[in-house]
Amino acid sequence: MAAPLAERLRPQHLDDYIGQEHLVGEGGVFRRFIETGNIPSFILWGPPGVGKTTLAHIVANELNRQMFTLSAVTSGVKDVRDIIERAKHQRFFNTPAPLLFIDEIHRFNKSQQDSLLAAVERGDVVLIGATTENPSFEVITPLLSRCQVYILRPMDDAAAEKLLQRALNVDSELKKRDIEIREREALLRFAAGDARKLLNIIDIIVSSTDGKVVITNDLVTESLQQNIALYDKDGEQHYDVISAFIKSVRGSDPNAAIYYLARMLAGGEEPRFIARRLVILASEDIGLANPNALLLANACFDTVHKIGMPEARITLAETTIYLATSPKSNSAYMAINEALAFVQKDTNNRPVPLHLRNAVTDLMSREGYGKEYKYAHDFAGNFVTQEFMPDTLVGKQFYHPNTTNSTEKNIATRIEELWQGKYK
């Protein structure tokens, strides 16, 4: 039985690689790697099907460098250490360091990533990581600082067309068939920038059609009808469904929120991505109306990291319902945005009042630093009236309590009682 088309067509050389011109085109960084032989450790970040694994293999092939491969899904710390030991023992004097390719590196926990640090620092291996998740969130800072990050983009229509033609002209199995591509819109739409998905669609259609194959929009749709997921975590629906999920929670509709959560989980969305969005939601949309929301969202984020699926679905559901049914306020979100906008446009160097400055030297004390500062806990109710703003901003208000919810109504009352109308 023939291997899948995507595997049969996997390029072995950079000149056969389609797409990612910003990296592999003339003057691109990967061209320079191959020309000079100098390869830093790097991480390839991009959606599935854009050629991350293929690019790693091409680099190893073009430079004739040994490459060890690990999958973060199935490998542990012991596997990492075993591979590093093998790499060290197989390296001869003055030979370049072998490559260590780790697929889905974002699935490695902190201890697994820590186990890579020393080998990367010593140059025992050149690390190549592949991830669909933002490395800033998923890769520990010490490891990230030792790696270049290269972003791979979804395949555009021009590159997809080029890949289609290469498949028809080069693949030995397809050349045996009479294939006519009469319409392309559905092919490109269902592939959604994913090269592997595009080739898999061609495979499905050709294998299910006898005689001449005439590819039309209707044929593509009909052939894929039983294969289309309710949610495509790598295509346009990724953004549509997560947007609907967020807006449902913000709009206090727990039923719609749970529905979209189920869509994402059934479609294979990374649970940590959802948990991260819930933490943001708790701060941005619920905020001070229910401060416990952030605590629960944070606990959800930690729990999802610890237990994974399928049990994580319960924690995600509990947190989703809690946030959806919580009172809403974006006052903290609006306050920091208003303050940042003010600071970024403010050209005045507004000095901090002397009584708020720390007198860390005798000279500072003599200059009045910290003089007349009133320690709030020395006064009744742990409050005393004093000025905290720079002189030119006295009375400036950034935080406007949302008094439609009971929590912030109490906050507004307390501010009024303490400051006697200063902040209105």
Q: Give yes or no for a contact between 155 and 50, defined as CB atoms under 8 angstroms apart.
A: yes
The per-residue pLDDT for 93 is: 66
Q: Which fold is adopted by the domain 344-419?
A: post-AAA+ oligomerization domain-like (1.10.3710)
pLDDT band of residue 257 (cuts 50, 70, 90) is very high
pLDDT tens for 125-162 read 899 999 988 888 788 888 898 899 999 988 888 888 99
Q: Give yes or no for a contact between 361 and 294, defined as CB atoms under 8 angstroms apart.
A: no
Measured CA angle at 299 (ends 293, 305), to 5 deg: 140
The correct answer on CATH 1.10.8.60 for the domain covering 157-224 is yes
- Burial grade of 274 (CB within 10 A; 0-12, 13-18, 19 or more): buried
Strands 148-151 and 67-71, bridge-based pairing: unpaired
Taking the C-alpha atoms of residue 334 and residue 357, their distance in angstroms, rounded to an integer, is 28
- The mean per-residue pLDDT over the stretch 264-281 comes to 87
Taking the C-alpha atoms of residue 127 and residue 149, their distance in angstroms, rounded to an integer, is 12
Taking the C-alpha atoms of residue 366 and residue 374, their distance in angstroms, rounded to an integer, is 18
The per-residue pLDDT for 424 is: 72
- Burial grade of 235 (CB within 10 A; 0-12, 13-18, 19 or more): buried
Correct CATH for 236-324 of 1.10.150.20, 1.20.272.10, 1.10.3720.10, 3.40.50.720: 1.20.272.10
- 2 pLDDT above the threshold of 70: no
Question: Greatest CA span in the chain, whole angstroms?
Answer: 95
Asked which of 31-35, 244-248, 343-347 is least confident by mean pLDDT, the reply is 343-347
Is 0.75 topped by the overall pTM? no
- Burial grade of 211 (CB within 10 A; 0-12, 13-18, 19 or more): exposed
The per-residue pLDDT for 291 is: 93
The per-residue pLDDT for 92 is: 67
Q: Which two tokens stand for residue 245?
A: 């999920």
Omega before residue 310 within 30° of 0, cis: yes
Residue ranges per structural domain of the chain: 20-151, 157-224, 236-324, 344-419
The per-residue pLDDT for 238 is: 64
**Could you tell me which CATH number the domain at 20-151 has?**
3.40.50.300
- The mean per-residue pLDDT over the stretch 284-296 comes to 94
pLDDT tens for 185-230 read 888 888 878 888 888 888 888 887 888 889 988 888 877 764 444 4
Residue-averaged pLDDT of the chain: 86
Three-class SS state of 344:
helix
